Amino acid sequence: CKVINSKNPAFDECPGAEDMIVYNEAGDPPCLAFLGNSHMGHHIRTIASLAKEYDVSFLWLARHSWGDLFGGCGSTPDPPSPWDEQRIRILKQWKPKRVIFATHRPYCLLANNSTLDGLMSGAPEKVLIMGDNPRLDYGSFPFKIRQKLQKELLNAIKVGDVSSLDFLSTIKPSKFDDFLRTEDGLRKAIESNPKYNGTIQFESTYPAFMDQNNTFVQVVGAETEGGNRLLYRDREHLTLRDGSERLREYFREHIFGDLDC
């Protein structure tokens, strides 16, 4: 799908979205549906690997940029866009048992209920709202970050801006108090609403990326193949392999482990 931006305000349908199904060997109907934006997209390899392991088919309805929400982010919901209506049709058609959603702006789910309602369109037995990974505080870096993190690191080493990479163990999360406050508010809003409680579940992911004191973000992973590989590719996106791999057990616990399709 093309990126949704200010030049495409209508949030047009995604051509071919109805066919965005990854089938298992038996060609079974999709049991899972994944929606969101690039913050779901950086988990595609981990999801595909687990779907193959558990032998399940899944719908992939993620779209980059602002194509994550239903009804926008204002206190008064926007009228359903063609993209909203298309996703609702697909969910109603296939009725996946579990729907999983990820976004970088969970505060919008507190502004109005359109996204939560949209995710329940196919009457799933469970909807999982994934908490976001912490954003990196660029003020914690000894040089400016303009592009991809790996490229900037290599350039800083090349020109002599840094003599050691020890600073990578002291990168703070950006606006972490606000981050936690939003997650707590969303969790409470879901649990206190009878319409959603029992079906929609919010589960944080940040513990997989913070140190044991919740002080610094783990930007590199000592456990990664080859040792100390980057978990982040920029300020807010994980690397497709090593970063997302941190959530493999999260996906097992909350999605795949007890799945019965």
Distance from C-alpha of 14 to C-alpha of 1, rounded to nearest angstrom: 5
- The predicted pLDDT at position 223 comes to 60
CA 243 to CA 229: how far, in whole Å?
A: 9
Beta strands (DSSP E) in 20-143 are 21-22, 32-36, 58-62, 98-102, 126-130
Contact 100, 32 (CB under 8 A): yes
pLDDT confidence of residue 155: 81
**pLDDT band at 17; cut points 50, 70, 90:** very high
The per-residue pLDDT for range 187-212, each reduced to its tens digit, is 999 999 999 999 999 999 999 999 98
pTM of the model: 0.92
Q: pLDDT digits over 56-111, tens only?
A: 999 999 987 788 999 999 999 999 999 999 999 999 999 999 999 999 999 999 99
pLDDT on residue 63: 86
Distance between CA 22 and CA 35 in Å, rounded? 14
Alpha helices in 137-252 (DSSP H): 149-159, 176-191, 242-245, 248-251
Residue type, 37: N
Q: In whole angstroms, what is the distance from residue 68 CA to residue 243 CA?
A: 21
